[in-house]
Amino acid sequence: MWIGIKDGRYFVRHVCQDSDELSKYGWAQHNGRDFAHQVLVDQEMVLMTSFLKSKGEGSGYGGDWALRIDMQSEKFALDEDTLHIFFYLADEDEIVLSVRKEIIDFRDNSLLATGSRAEIGGWQLHLKSTDGLEVHYAGFKTPHIHNLSDLVQQNLGAQVRMFGRLQLSDSSDDSPNILVFQISGRIPFRTDITFVSGTDKKEPRVGDRVNSLTGVMLTNQLEEKQREFERKFEQCFNLADKSDSDSMIVGKAAIGNMLGGIGYFYGQSKISQPGNFNVKTHDNFISYWPAELYTAVPSRPIFPRGFLWDEGFHQLLIWRWDIHISLDIVGHWLDLMNIDGWIPREQILGAEALSKVPEDYVVQHPTNGNPPTFFLVLRELVDGLKKNKFTANESRGILDFLERAFVRLEAWFHWFNTTQTGKQMGSYFWHGRDNMTTHELNPQTLTSGLDDYPRASHPSEDERHVDLRCWMLLAADCLHSIAMLFEKESKSGKEYGSTIKLLSDFEILNQMHLDEGYGAYFDFGNHTEKVRLKEMNAPRELVREVLEVPELRLVPHVGYVSIFPFMGRIIPSESWILEKQLDLISNRSIMWTDYGLCSLAKTSTLYMKYNTEHDAPYWRGPIWMNMNYMILSALHHYSREDGPYRERAKVIYNDLRSNLIRNVVQNYNQTGFFWEQYDQETGKGKGARLFTGWTALVLLIMAEVYN
H helix or E strand, kind and range, residue 111: strand 111-117
CB atoms within 10 A of CB 236: 16
Beta-bridge mates of residue 84: 184
Asked whether 287 and 363 are in contact (CB, 8 A), the reply is: no
End-to-end CA distance of the chain: 40
User: For 357, what's the count of Cα atoms within 13 Å in the CB-facing half-sphere?
Assistant: 21
CA 13 to each of CA 152, 252, 477: distance values in angstroms, whole numbers, following the listed order? 10, 26, 49
What is the Cα–Cα distance from 325 to 318, expressed in whole angstroms?
8
Helices H, strands E: what count in the chain? 17, 29
Instruction: Give the active site residue among 451, 641, 655, 704.
Output: 451
Quick check: is 451 catalytic? yes
Specify the pairing of strand 363-364 against strand 270-272.
Answer: parallel
Residues in the chain: 707
**CA dihedral for 396, 399, 403, 406, sign (positive or negative):** positive
Q: Tell me, what amino acid is at 273? A: Q
Catalytic, out of 346, 410, 452, 676: 676
Nearest in space to 38 (alpha carbons), one of 256, 297, 295, 296: 256
Distance CA 412, CA 404 (A): 14
DSSP one-letter string for 605-632: TTTT--SSSS---SSSS-B-HHHHHHHH
Contacts of 402 (CB under 8 A, 6+ apart): 378, 381, 382, 482, 485, 486
502, 512 Cβ separation under 8 angstroms: no
Q: Alpha helix locations (H) across 360-465?
A: 374-386, 392-419
The DSSP output letter for 340 is T
Decide if 463 is catalytic: no
CA triple 486-469-464, angle to 5 deg: 155
- Does residue 539 have a cis bond before it (omega within 30 degrees)? yes
Range list of H helices, 83-201: 148-163
Q: What is the dihedral angle through the alpha carbons of 326, 345, 252, 592, rounded to the nearest 10 degrees?
A: 130
Contact 191/134 with Cβ under 8 angstroms?
no
Q: Which residues neighbour 467 within 8 Å (Cβ) at sequence distance 6 or greater?
A: 371, 448, 450, 560, 561, 564
Active site residues: 451, 676
